[in-house]
Amino acid sequence: MRSAVPLTRTAAGLREPARDVPVYAEVDVLVVGGGPAGIGAALGAARSGMRTLLVERYGCLGGIWTAGLLNPYFDAAGKGGIPEEIIDRLHQHGGRRAVQDWDDVSMIANVFDFESMKYVLDVMTAEAGVRPLFYTSAVATVVDGGRVAGVVVENKSGRSAILAGVTIDCTGDGDVAHHAGCEYEMGRLDDGQLQPMTLQFTVQGISWPRFGEAYDVLARFNTPEDLARIPFRSLAPVPIAGHDDSRAMMWTHIHGADGTNADDLTSAVIEGRRQVQSAMVLLGAAREVLGEGRLVATAMQVGVRETRRIRGEYYLELDDLLQGRTFDDGVCEVTFNVDIHDPDDTHMKTQAVPRYQVPYRCLVPKSVDDLLVAGRCISGSHEAHGSYRVTGNCVAMGEAAGVAAGMSVQSSTRPREIDGALVKAELQRRGAKVT
**Gap between the Cα atoms of 80 and 49, Å rounded:** 21
Long-range CB pairs of 294-297, under 8 A, 24+ apart, other chains included: 294/203, 294/204, 294/205, 295/201, 295/202, 295/203, 296/201, 296/202, 296/203, 296/204, 296/246, 297/69, 297/201, 297/202
If we measure between CA atoms, which residue out of 416, 432, 161, 426 comes closest to residue 313?
416
| pLDDT for the residue numbered 344 | 82
pLDDT of residue 102: 40
Sort 205 into a burial class: Cβ within 10 Å, 0-12 / 13-18 / 19+.
middle
Residue 108 has what pLDDT?
46
Alpha carbon dihedral 251, 254, 260, 261, in 10-degree steps, equals -140
**284: number of CA atoms within 13 Å, CB side?**
8
Check residue 6 and give its pLDDT: 85
pLDDT of residue 407: 99
CA distances from 205 to 173, 211, 246 (A): 36, 12, 7
pLDDT given at position 232? 53
pLDDT of residue 286: 86
Q: Identify the three-state secondary structure at position 371.
A: strand
**Whole-angstrom Cα distance, residue 100 to residue 115?**
22
Return d(Cα 375, Cα 394) in angstroms, integer.
Answer: 4
Tell me if the pTM is above 0.75: yes
pLDDT value for 223: 61
Distance between start and end Cα atoms, the chain? 54
List of domains in the chain: 23-190+308-430 (3.50.50.60), 201-298 (no CATH)
pLDDT for the residue 411: 98
Q: Kindly state the DSSP code that residue 212 receives in the 8-state scheme.
A: G
What are the percentages of helix, strand and coil residues in the chain, rounded to 5? Answer: 30, 25, 45
> How do the pLDDT tens digits run along the chain, 435 residues long?
456 778 899 999 999 899 899 999 999 999 999 999 999 999 999 999 999 999 999 999 999 999 999 988 999 989 999 999 999 999 999 888 764 444 444 334 688 899 999 999 999 999 999 999 999 999 999 999 999 999 999 999 999 999 999 999 999 999 999 999 999 999 999 999 999 999 999 999 888 778 777 767 766 665 656 555 554 545 544 455 555 578 888 888 899 999 999 999 999 999 999 999 988 988 888 888 889 999 999 999 999 999 999 999 999 999 999 999 999 999 999 999 999 998 887 667 889 999 999 999 999 999 999 999 999 999 999 999 999 999 999 999 999 999 999 999 999 999 999 999 999 999 999 999 999
What pLDDT is recorded for position 236? 47
Amino acid letter at 217? V
